[in-house]
Amino acid sequence: MMTSQEANDWLFEQKCRALTDALAKRHFTAVYCPTSADAAAYILREAESARSIGFGGSYTVAGLDVQKKLAAAGKTIYDHGTPGLSPEQKVAAMNAELTCDLFLSGTNAVTESGVLVNIDGNGNRVAAMSYGPKKVIVVVGRNKIVEGGIEAAIARVKRVAAPANAKRLDRATPCAVTGFCANCDSPQRICHVTTIIDSKPGRSDFHVLVVNEDLGL
């Protein structure tokens, strides 16, 4: 007899595989990954031909622990979240991420039908996801899958990802205090740019890895 954890993993595997099929119908290169280790291995393989790699400030990707391995392999790393960068260096890194060989990011939410929904503070991450880098790999943890449509996906970002990220980034916003979105007008608001990727952008080599683990916020 299955344990409750095994049954839960099985249930999410079916959801992840169904999402992978839905993404493929939207012309993404969609790959089911049973574990985060499988996702990391996929990224390292795809990065072999890349000289420059950009990181979109994703907690999901950070959890895969690939950046040090890629740097050790001689790749040029662009990561605007690197501690100690001056404001000018941070902007330079964000700009370089837009034209790198491989851009790595997570997503804030994805519908069961395969629509990627993201909300950004500056818009640099979602811009790079849509156009610029030679290849994009988006890693999706099973916790990012939402039932329903785009409105449900946006609601997930507002209820979960945005407050948690505002707290993580130590922003002076109401949600970083209460844990609830107040649709604020705070100068430090992180919700400025909302993007909906209905299908693979026309000039992009876009891969989506669907992982049967909870990843990121």
Query: CA–CA separation, 72 vs 48, rounded Å?
Result: 12
Q: What pLDDT was estimated at residue 1? A: 86
Tell which residue, 199, 212, 210, 211, has the closest CA to residue 28.
199
CATH for 16-211 is 3.40.50.10420
Q: In angstroms, what CA-CA distances link 12 with 5, 47, 59, 129?
A: 11, 28, 21, 26
For the chain, give every domain's residue range.
16-211
Q: For the segment 104-126, what is each residue's pLDDT rounded down to a tens digit?
A: 999 999 999 999 999 999 999 99
Q: For the segment 118-156, what is each residue's pLDDT rounded down to a tens digit?
A: 999 999 999 999 999 999 999 999 999 999 999 999 999
SS3 letters across 160-205: HHHHHHHHHCCCCCHHHHHCCCCCCCCCCCCCCEEEEECCCCCCCE
Q: In angstroms, what CA-CA distances link 128 with 14, 55, 57, 217?
A: 30, 10, 12, 20
How does residue 92 score in pLDDT terms, banded at 50, 70 and 90? very high
Q: What pLDDT was estimated at residue 115? A: 98
Beta bridge partners of 120: 193
Q: Does pTM surpass 0.85?
A: yes
Q: For the segment 19-58, what is each residue's pLDDT rounded down to a tens digit?
A: 999 999 999 999 999 999 999 999 999 999 999 999 999 9
Instruction: Check if the beta carbon of residue 133 is closer than 8 Å to that of residue 100.
Output: yes
